[in-house]
Amino acid sequence: MIYNLVKIIDNIIGFKTAQAHCDIPCKIYDPSTAQLAALSCVRLMDLIQEIEGKDDMRVADYSQIARLVSEKESASTEVKEAVSVIWGDYFKEPQFEQVPNMHRLAHNIMVQASKCKQNIDRKEGEALVELVNEFAEAFWFTKGVGVYRVSCPYPPRLDVVYPDLKG
């Protein structure tokens, strides 16, 4: 990860992360919205898969699929929107210097979120969670906030990057 490298250099030469102007006049940026939405994708894929196992599909099952797919569609869209806002509004030159691969990472999230719309395969969802975690890690790095990884306290209980605020 290029920003891990930057992070090390950052620690050595005491480079100050630039953030002040980026928060004015804008919203409160937090990647947790995108992370929650990515986790929802995986969760909904799991619920869709449960129906796959059924022998005899009825109208109630098709109805349930329609509901879950619609929710998965919304969750994938929310990932895209939440990442677009942070990439488009918060990331400016100083942040791009700290995270040189950010354009690529943001675009990869768009592509992966589309795959999560087009598929019901859990692996696509897990890949989305991982990309959004990477995005969160980069974001918190530009804010000078450390992170840790731990399983989220609800299904699908995947590893999530959280800011280390407890001190």
What one-letter code names the amino acid at 121?
Answer: D
Residue closer to a copy of itself by CB (options 4, 70) is 70
How much helix, strand and coil, in percent to the nearest 5, is found in the chain? 70, 5, 25
The site for a copy of itself (CB under 8 A) is made up of 23, 25-30, 32-33, 36, 39-40, 43, 47-49, 51-52, 58-60, 62-67, 69-71, 73, 80, 84, 87-89, 91-92, 103-104, 107, 110-111, 114, 117-120, 143, 145, 148, 150, 152-155, 162-167
CB of 9 to a copy of itself, least distance (A): 22
Burial class of residue 21 in the structure, from the number of CB atoms within 10 Å of its CB (0-12 exposed, 13-18 middle, 19+ buried): exposed
Q: Quote the CA–CA distance of 50 and 79 in Å, as a whole number.
A: 24
Length of the chain: 167
Residue closer to a copy of itself by CB (options 12, 55) is 55
Residue closer to a copy of itself by CB (options 97, 164) is 164
